[in-house]
Amino acid sequence: MAILVDSATKVICQGFTGRQASYHMERAIAYGTQVVGGVVPGKGGSRHLGLPVFDRVADAVAATGATASAVFVPPASAAEAIIEAIDAELPLIVCVTERIPVLDMVRVKRRLEGSASRLIGPNSQGILNPGRCKIGVMPAHLERPGRVGIVSRSASLTSEVVEQVSAQRLGQSTSVGIGGDPVHGLGFVDCLELFFRDPDTDCVVLLGEIGGSEEEEAAAFLRSQRVPKPVVAYVAGLAAPTERRMGHAGTVNVFGQGGAAEKIESLRGAGVTVAESVAEIGQTVRQALKAA
């Protein structure tokens, strides 16, 4: 068990025949993910990576029984691709596309409300259930099956923390990248809820960064209940200005707030163990599990 994906998840890829999509989907297949086909308008009926290609998501779902989509469509048409997947009622949509216009994502958000779909991303490395299912662009490197859940706004930082957690001889139940964009699908609170309900997750690691108020919202969520599992956090950007875009679009603040110190204080106030530095996240997880 894990959250959102497992070995039964059947994945299609939108934008399947593109260079990046081909590279990553080939690796997903090698990893053991059940990839069942792809969607590329105008290429329906052909085959790619030995799998059927469809013109529309609905056709792909009808023919393959897909339950998840990996969206690799370029930024200008990515929102339409996500909306097509929502209309086809795919339970899980993972979007790795970077640089989608934010107003396009505002439209996507409206379409998600009340829909049957959950969206991970955009600008996400994806979701990884070690040994069972990999959807996205993250490296399959030092992850190992285990009982620590990771939810993160940053791909490379997730790799760092997966390595540290594995080095502590702990493994991961699932790692989820919620993405570095200001408007995105699942957030920290959604993932905390899922991890709290998952019997195979013992501890949750939340990797935040400057910008926005999602860490504060996670803290408010944790304060509102009896927290069933230890939560460890790290927030990147203490040394950075918040009025500049530091890589991720989501790091910029247009109106005050968003500083790392405030986020850390807010999380600590909610009983979260915040790692003193990025080098100590693995150890902090081990200690939190021991204390629990």
Partner 1 sequence: MNLHEHQAKEILGRYGVPSPAGSLVSRADAAAAAAKSLGGSSWAVKAQIHAGLRHDAGGVRLVSGTEAAATAASELLGKRLVTPQTGPSGKLVRSVYIEQAVGAARELYLAILIDRSQGRVAFLASRTGGSDIEQRAQAEPGSLRHLAVDGDHGFDLQAAAGLAADLGLEGRAASQAVEIMAALYKAFLELDASLIEINPLALTHEGSLTALDVKMVLDDNALFRHKDLAALRDVEELDPTELEAQRFALNYVHLDGNIGVMVNGAGLALATLDLLKQRGGAPADFMDIRPEASRDQVAEGFRLLLRNQDIDAILVNVYGGGILRCDTVAEGIAAACRSEGLRVPLIVRAAGTNGELARKTLMAQGVAFTPASSIGAAVASAVEAAGREAA
Q: Which residues are catalytic?
A: 248
Closer by beta carbon to partner 1, 83 or else 249: 249
Q: For residue 183, what are the contacts with CB-CB under 8 A and spacing of at least 6?
A: 102, 105, 106, 108, 109
Q: How many residues bind partner 1 (CB under 8 A)?
A: 68
Nearest-angstrom CA–CA distance, 36 and 22: 14
Closest listed residue to residue 209, CA positions, set 268, 282, 151, 290:
151
Residue pair 41/141 in contact (Cβ under 8 Å)? The answer is: no
Q: Should residue 1 be labelled a site residue for partner 1 when binding is judged by CB under 8 A?
A: no
Measure the CA dihedral 58/64/67/70, to 10°.
Answer: -80
Restricting to residues 258-277, which ones interact with partner 1 according to CB under 8 A?
A: 260, 277
Candidates 111, 112, 58; CA nearest to 88 is 58
Minimum CB–partner distance for residue 259 and partner 1 (Å):
11
φ/ψ bin of 257: left (φ > 0), alpha (ψ from -120 to 50), beta (otherwise): left
- Which residue among 1, 30, 116, 238 contacts partner 1 (CB under 8 A)? 238
Residue 103 Cβ, how far from partner 1 at the closest point, in Å? 6
Based on the shown chain and the rule CB under 8 A, indicate whether residue 110 belongs to the binding site for partner 1: yes
Window 3 to 62, contacts with partner 1 (CB under 8 A):
20, 23-24
- DSSP, collapsed to helix, strand or coil, labels residue 34 as strand
Q: How far is the CB of 186 from partner 1 (least distance, A)?
A: 12
Cross-strand partners of 35: 11
Determine contact, residues 49/26, Cβ cutoff 8 Å. Answer: yes
- Name the residue nearer to partner 1 (CB basis): 64 or 172: 172
For residue 288, count other CB atoms closer than 10 A to its CB. Answer: 21
Which stretch in 29-37, 44-52, 65-73, 103-111 sits in contact with partner 1 by CB under 8 A?
Answer: 103-111
Site map (CB under 8 A) of partner 1, residues 120-149, x = contact:
-----x-----------xxx-x--------
Judged by beta carbon, residue 66 or residue 161, the one nearer partner 1 is: 161
Instruction: State the pairing for strand pair 273-274/231-236.
Output: parallel
Q: Which stretch binds partner 1 (CB under 8 A): 8-16, 40-48, 168-176, 252-260?
A: 252-260
Name the residue type at position 195. Answer: F
Binding to partner 1 by residue 278, rule CB under 8 A? yes
Is residue 152 a contact residue for partner 1 (CB under 8 A)? Answer: yes
- Taking the least distance from each CB to partner 1, the nearer of 228 and 241 is 241
Q: Please, which residues have CB within 8 angstroms of residue 143's CB and are 6 or more apart in sequence?
A: 128, 130, 162, 166, 171, 172, 175
User: Which parts of 203-232 interact with partner 1 (CB under 8 A)?
Assistant: 207, 209-210, 212-214, 217
Contact positions toward partner 1, by CB under 8 A? 20, 23-24, 75-76, 98-107, 109-110, 125, 137-139, 141, 152-160, 163, 180, 182-184, 207, 209-210, 212-214, 217, 234, 236-241, 243-251, 254-257, 260, 277-280
